[in-house]
Amino acid sequence: MKKHISVAVFLIFLSVCVAAQDSAAGTADDFFDGDIDSLFEDVPESDPIDNPPPPVNNAPPPSNNAPSVLASALKKIGFTLDARFNFAAGYAPGWIKAPWYWDEERDPVTYRYDDEVDNFFMAKMESKIALDIQISDVFRVRQTLALAIPSLAITIPEFFFDYNLLNIVFFRAGKYSFNWGISPNFPYANLPSRIPNSREKEVDLYGDLYILRADIPIGVGGFQLALMTRSSILGSNGHIDTPEHPNLNNIDKERITIADKVFWGAKFNLAVPYFDFDMGLLYNTKQDSRAFLALKTTLFNQLELYAEGLLSFNSGTSDRFGGSASIGFMQEFFNRQLSVNAELFYNGEEKATYTPASSFFGKDDAIPLISGLNTALNIRYKPSWFKKTEFFLNYLHGFNENTVQLVPGFRITPLSNLNLYVAVPMALGSEKGQYYNYNVDEKNRPFSIILMVTFSGNYRYSNN
């Protein structure tokens, strides 16, 4: 897994550890809101912003809202302009081989310390301009344009429209962030992220996800139907090869139809006062299908409990079945100063992967999920004696491969829109384990120290 720059370690670890920001609601729901990558891009709560941007998903999901609430999001004609700016620079010294392995197999004559050191500076700037237009009471369009430096890449992170059909069905079509599942550590139940990229050499590996979605609210729940594909799949002459099915490139191209390039999804949600229940399915004619269950509840207004399960089964390309399950909690203590998230995950799928969303620090290729038993622990502490400081710790452990990823660090917000980060990502355990050889560092270094400063802010103008 290659990152655009090494400091992208925070995309996973800070998002988990600092995601539970203080709010008037006084619950831990915000720990699970949004995708992991986007959480890092949020301006810290200590930054005073008079004009916060509206949420991308103006139309609330049908799972928790009545049709009248959904319709209210599509009634005020006008436009909104959102501007978001990120600037980051830092220094990341690191080692190609972890220091605790330095004494092994050294030749005292030819050994050079510099051979194990790999240090570099990094800098990046990005701006995002989003135009959100409410054309009529039932029709809305949103488009975002992004510019990144030093790559000078101009991209369109999102471009979609919403349409309200008689307050019965709410459509959204285009390119946008789309997530299922709950876990902030192991997104195996986030089925849209499980849609693979094309493996053909002549097309872009990092295919954008395009979605046609229909939300149908029913009482305190509802249904969601979706057709999904990636740009790399549409341009790949039909090849949808993944690590799960390495022989798909041998399939005759003439046998691949447009229907084979589409993934069909359906989800049912029931939200009652004591729990929130999701059940979903993702189907493709050339891939294994997957079905998932997710349950989340809140106890004592502070303790979040969640559980998920997944079953993968034959869709015409194999005869195997696979099952995965997880259970976790998120608890806050001392008036929300301390947040703790822990999760136990068993991965019963072979060569399972997921594709994360794009972020300020670039796009990822497919990330493997370690088979067998896995655990995660995330701690976030905001001391009352220094509210502008936040300490965090992330721990991931894959037992089958005896591999561990440990990231302690802290963030200081000395001034508005300015943040200072220090983190020390470490890969422990076996040298053959995934986290030692395949981690969040750009060069897969098993030990590094990250020093980073960021400037970020956003502005919103609306005439509706």
Q: Indicate whether 88 belongs to any domain.
A: yes
Asked if residue 325 is part of any domain, the answer here is yes
* Tens-digit pLDDT profile for residues 385-432: 888 899 999 999 999 999 999 999 999 999 999 999 999 989 998 888
CATH number, position 57? 2.40.160.10
Domain of residue 185: give its range: 6-462
Place of tokens 């999904």: 228
* Distance, CA of 337 to CA of 381 (rounded, Å): 6
| Assigned domain for 272 exists | yes
Query: What phi and psi, each to the nearest 5 degrees, are found at residue 249?
Result: -65, -15
When the pLDDT of each residue in the chain is averaged and rounded to a whole number, the result is: 76
> Is the pLDDT at 139 greater than 70, yes or no?
yes
In a domain, 1, yes or no: no
Strands 209-218 and 169-175 come out as antiparallel
| pLDDT confidence bin for 35, thresholds 50/70/90 | very low
Q: Is residue 140 in some structural domain? A: yes
Within-domain flag for 269: yes
C-alpha 45/C-alpha 37 separation (Å) is 17
* Alpha-carbon span 30 to 305, nearest angstrom: 14
Please name the residues in contact with 218: beta carbons below 8 A apart, sequence gap of 6 or more.
62
Rounded to whole angstroms, the Cα distance separating 209 from 35 reads 15
Phi, psi of 325 (to 5 degrees): -155, 155
Does pLDDT of 324 surpass 80?
yes
Residue 443 lies in a domain: yes
| Alpha helix stretches (DSSP H) within 343-408 | none
Question: How big is the CA angle at 389 (ends 384 and 393), to the nearest 5 degrees?
Answer: 100
Please state, in angstroms and rounded to a whole number, the distance separating the CA atoms of residues 291 and 258.
23
84-134 pLDDT, tens digit each: 999 999 998 888 776 666 655 555 555 555 556 777 788 889 999 999 999
The span from the CA of 372 to the CA of 359, in Å, is 29
As for how many domains the chain has, the answer is 1
The β-bridge partners of 161 are 141, 173
Enter the pTM of the model.
0.74
User: How far apart, in whole angstroms, are the C-alpha atoms of residue 101 and residue 98?
Assistant: 6
Q: What angle do CA 187, 192, 194 make, to 5 degrees?
A: 60
Higher pLDDT, 89 or 34: 89
Q: Is residue 109 part of a domain?
A: yes
Tell me the residue ranges of DSSP E strands in 135-274.
139-149, 154-165, 169-175, 209-218, 221-230, 263-272
Give the C-alpha distances (Å, rounded to integers) separating 254 from 198, 239, 250.
17, 11, 11
